Amino acid sequence: MFDLKGYLASKQENINSYLDKILQESDISCRIVTAMRYSLLAGGKRIRPVLCMAAVDSVGGVGENFLTEACAIEMIHTYSLIHDDLPAMDNDDLRRGRQTCHKAFDEATAILAGDALLTLAFQVLSSKSFLSNNKENEKNLNKSLQVINIIASASGYKGMIEGQMRDIASEGTNLDIDELKNLHYMKTGALIDASIIAGATMGGGNTEEIEKLHNYSKNIGLAFQVADDILNIEGDPVIMGKAAGTDETRKKVTYPSLIGIEKSKKLAMDLVNKGLIAIESFDKRSDPLRAIANYIIERKK
């Protein structure tokens, strides 16, 4: 039986060490770097970078060879959390069991720390790719640029940012299930999808493999958000490291508010099953992806 707990612990340790190494190259006495480290190294599941490396493995590559790309994705995710927590957006006080960045520092520092992490992510990605800019590695360079494009598109105004904008605009309004699905795909699913597709691309996956992984990622990305909606109602704030019940307070449209808790749980399970079916032809190298799919709806935080 696949040991997901051990697998995640090993990957998280490598990811955390590499993130720390990247920021150690900066002036750690600088206030902005201190704020960046505060949020980036606060813990977290590291699901997106883990999925990225697992996708590399699933198509026959070596995930650990792409730790740089995986960590860049985590920087982008952390930047989005810093900005989501701001008073102008979700106005949260806790994240990952500690004060949010703007509470620990101030709003201006939090905004700049988020901006800096987003910029650093692409600095790291482009530095690695352009180091390979010679004729012998032209194919690898093109692949690196493709990966940068995949991640940038998912992070931008047609992906995560648009999803956040729709989430804010929908507070106190009525959405139908399809509108909510599209919102959640952009807000949460797009970067999860990009993590997996970028990994499969770097690992040398063919068109058919990448399409199957895309179907997997679309389903588990949405399942992740449905599970988050459920945890916001039923989750333990101590375990989650953040407050519960905030969606209702802000009058956010969620799956439980539209179809109820039990139907939301069934929907999450159905989405995971669809994701698993999409990669059923893959061999044991995809066992981490299978285990993570189930973990997404079983997690407590």
HEC profile for the chain?
CCCHHHHHHHHHHHHHHHHHHHHHCCCCCCHHHHHHHHHHCCCCCCHHHHHHHHHHHHCCCCHHHHHHHHHHHHHHHHHHHHHHCCCCCCCCCEECCEECHHHHCCHHHHHHHHHHHHHHHHHHHHHHHHCCCCHHHHHHHHHHHHHHHHHHHHHCCCCHHHHHHHHHHCCCCCCCHHHHHHHHHHHHHHHHHHHHHHHHHHCCCCHHHHHHHHHHHHHHHHHHHHHHHHHHHHCCHHHHCCCCCHHHHCCCCCHHHHHCHHHHHHHHHHHHHHHHHHCCCCCHHHHHHHHHHHHHHHCCC
pLDDT of residue 127: 84
Domains identified in the chain, total number: 1
Per-10-residue mean pLDDT of the chain, 301 residues long, equals: 95 96 80 96 95 98 95 98 96 93 98 98 81 56 90 96 94 92 95 98 96 98 95 89 87 93 96 98 97 93 83
Total-model pTM: 0.94
* pLDDT in the model for residue 140: 75
pLDDT of residue 128: 62
pLDDT of residue 130: 47
Range of the domain at 208: 4-298
Domain containing 241 — which CATH number? 1.10.600.10
